[in-house]
Amino acid sequence: QCLLSGSWRSDTGCRMVVSFLSKDGSFSGSYLPGPAAGGSEILTSPLEGTQQDAGLVPQPTFSFTVRWQLRETARTTAFLGQCYVGTNGEETLHALWLLREAANSPDEDWKATR
């Protein structure tokens, strides 16, 4: 059964810790990017999300947002993915993400989402 509570590590060294998972599937925790994210200016940042009921579907979908704790820039990332259970019982998360930085004007809006 795929439950997001606990600690998860990505291939790039990012770490997600889900410290609270409620019965309705909402969760919260923290996110720390790995060395590939660039620099020590990124601090451990809060995350909040929701997961499908793992009792209803064996490999539930999930989404969460990270509100980055940065000194100079406002950034938010949205993650959307699914938890898979392998034949050996190992849980794996697959996710896509969009990062949004604050733009200084509507003219710069085009380059604010990656």
Q: Which CATH class is domain 6-111?
A: mainly beta
pLDDT in the model for residue 41: 63
pLDDT in the model for residue 13: 87
pLDDT in the model for residue 84: 94
Strand order in the sheet with 26-32: 6-9, 15-21, 26-32, 45-51, 61-67, 75-85, 91-101
pTM of the predicted model as reported, rounded to 2 decimal places: 0.86
User: How many other C-beta atoms can be found within 10 angstroms of the C-beta atom of residue 65?
Assistant: 16
pLDDT in the model for residue 39: 56
SS3 37: helix
SS3 111: helix
The four Cα atoms 64, 78, 14, 44 give a dihedral, to 10 degrees, of: -80
pLDDT in the model for residue 17: 94
Q: What is the pLDDT along the chain (114 residues), one digit of tens a residue?
A: 788 889 999 888 889 999 998 989 999 999 988 775 555 566 789 999 999 988 888 899 999 999 987 767 788 999 999 999 999 989 999 999 999 998 999 999 999 998
Q: How far is CA 83 from the centre of its chain?
A: 13
